[in-house]
Structure 1
């Protein structure tokens, strides 16, 4: 049967190779190794879990060293015979894949929602990787933990002297490469399973249809005028800084916000028409308040949408050393970091419950912490006076708690993190938190919602369950809680082929996504 390949798409797609098995290599990775992995977005990771079953997390990490890591983390429930009051779960790591995915540093990852469950077939997740080599690689990966036979083989490999168990999955496939951009790929996102959005330093956001990997449209951001002399790595020699740093799609899928290099503004886009909907300047007073007016470029480096609280929907824009929260009226509500003058790397809203009204803003920092801030109006605090005698322009968000840092033995910058929400049998929410540091370590934490609710100030929260040393400088992380494998389902070549055809037929009517 025919296999789905990326070269079936139109001209922007190239270098599509036949679907290949994912290989797991424990020795030094080689560029020609064909493999793939799977991961999901945060909303995919809310699968129920019980305290009596093993939870398996699939972790994917990109690195400056071009290496793509795939690791499974099996979290077994604590033994009932444990004598401690709060027994710690047993955690084990295994390599799913390890190979050179790009010819230069990997910058971003994205995971799609899983495919719809079909009796007798496994569910799949699409993974996209972007790098400074202008390419977007795409993979189709299994959403289920490795089969019993794979685990037995892994145990044999481990006992034979391999540093770690190796859990290959025959359903993981490499689909090919997308060549929609002419510069570094800066961000990837699957707003739905049928669409992939990718931004680049070529000042475009490409919209790709995943059914046939064809380029549907390319949203072009204006190139900013050159002002002054560019410095550092903000631009090529003799050129000005340009490109889309980050974008965020509204949950309605009709609106998108983007921030770019060399621009002290954010741009609104109508995704229905693909046209510009407006330009919102950050303002000199706001930039001066967060220190960007004096020493920074004043450009937004990351933007994310938040939940709908009592004051309405909001979104956050991260700068070099601070974060500003805006309302849907585009007016700044508060700044986040306040006195925490450390570099910001990643931001994300964390929902405290099933509803959209309660959430905290999580921020990872240069000094190895993930800080949690409340942006509710009642939790904002005004600074009495600035150094020059003027009243503060923006109130400060309330620092609720922190995870990691020196107190937990983490001092290296946290480049990226993922929160995997789980609702236990008792109805209490908790998260498995995966953090990736530039020292090469992936850490898995457990964080209880009740701990965040009762936290105040710099209270340390979260329990470190385990760590995995990739021995590469991590740049980006994705993860998801794997879906329990249906009884009697085993991976096979024929099964993969049947699933691809069934999925293509089901997605043929997804043009309205």
Structure 2
């Protein structure tokens, strides 16, 4: 399993989680200093990895060959968010208020959604079907995009600037983060499914599955919530400082949660309890830390 990390020091680090003799090891496979600004976002599209930066460019890497594939230059502001769909498309959002739709074949900008969000795009997410996308921005709105026609399908006004938006893997739900409040909505009805309020700003959130949500915030703890029962499954101390990023992956029949923090550590945790059991379980269960990697400023 590959883990990719962007740093304030303009580096992109490639890490690999490997299992040897029943033990896991997270080791560095490459390091690239190819951008002139801090790395703000990373997304995978097929064999390619796209990294958006404050230098207004998107650096593309071929993950299979471990080579620099070049820069995408279209935005006139910090690239704040990127998201990929299979090996076909990539979306990028910027402080310039635009969203670009890129085709990975030839890496050409197919469409530019001008004035997507006045003041800047803060986050975006592509629906698992590849036909829709969600975005939030400085204009305090949540926009649904029809990617087939490359135009707005629906606009929802928010009471404040949205910091993060994410679809679930099956597309039945999506989440919106505003400061320290996370709200989960039903895609079919647009009704509120679940609301979480943390003591500090929420920096990252992912659906581990349709009913399980992981949250990282100003706290050194990671929270996992069960949406079906409407309860907190567990809150465990993952780092010494705030949790800046979360990602999950399934490999060889097991599910892993990756966490990155301002303490300079990247850690991988194995979620030990079968997910069908989590749908009804209410008491805490402890994830197992299987490996970690340290680099100051990660």
TM-score (norm 1): 0.54
Question: Which residue matches 1:367?
Answer: 219
| 2:174 maps to 1:321 | no
Question: Which residue matches 1:330?
Answer: 190
Distance 2:268 2:52 in 1: 24
- Equivalent in 404, 411, 433 of residue 240 of structure 2: 411
Check whether the contact 2:117–2:137 (CA below 8 A) recurs between aligned residues.
no
- Equivalent in 390, 398, 403 of residue 231 of structure 2: 398
Evaluate the alpha carbon distance shift between residue 222 and residue 176 of structure 1 in structure 2; reply closer, same or farther with a 3 A threshold.
closer
What is the Cα deviation at residue 176 of structure 1?
0.8
| 2:296 maps to 1:467 | no
Distance 2:123 2:149 in 1: 20
User: Which structure: greater helix fraction?
Assistant: 1
Alignment of 1:18-167 (within 5 A): 57-78=1-22, 89=23, 91-113=24-46, 125-142=47-64
Rg bigger for which structure?
1
User: Which structure: greater strand fraction?
Assistant: 2
What is the Cα deviation at residue 71 of structure 1?
2.1
What is the Cα deviation at residue 186 of structure 1?
1.0
Question: Which residue matches 2:206?
Answer: 348
What is the Cα deviation at residue 72 of structure 1?
2.3
Evaluate the alpha carbon distance shift between residue 221 and residue 461 of structure 1 in structure 2; reply closer, same or farther with a 3 A threshold.
farther
Distance 1:366 1:313 in 2: 28
- Equivalent in 441, 453, 456 of residue 282 of structure 2: 456
Paired residue secondary structure (2:112): strand
Question: Which residue matches 2:164?
Answer: 302
Q: Tell me, which stretches of 5 or more residues in structure 1 are unaligned? A: 1-56, 79-88, 114-124, 143-170, 225-241, 288-297, 352-357, 380-396, 425-429, 475-513
**Structure having greater relative contact order (Cα 8 Å, sep ≥ 6):** 1
Question: Which residue matches 2:264?
Answer: 440
What is the Cα deviation at residue 307 of structure 1?
5.5
| 2:137 maps to 1:260 | yes
What is the Cα deviation at residue 222 of structure 1?
4.8
Evaluate the alpha carbon distance shift between residue 307 and residue 190 of structure 1 in structure 2; reply closer, same or farther with a 3 A threshold.
closer
Check whether the contact 1:221–1:244 (CA below 8 A) recurs between aligned residues.
no
Question: Which residue matches 1:192?
Answer: 86
Number of aligned residue pairs: give it: 295
Question: Which residue matches 1:487?
Answer: none
Distance 1:59 1:248 in 2: 20
Distance 1:94 1:401 in 2: 28
Distance 2:75 2:14 in 1: 26
Distance 1:266 1:202 in 2: 17
Q: Once superposed, what is the RMSD of the aligned Cα atoms?
A: 2.1
Check whether the contact 2:117–2:136 (CA below 8 A) recurs between aligned residues.
no
Q: Deviations over 1:198-247 (max 9, x none)?
A: 111111111111111111101123554xxxxxxxxxxxxxxxxx111111
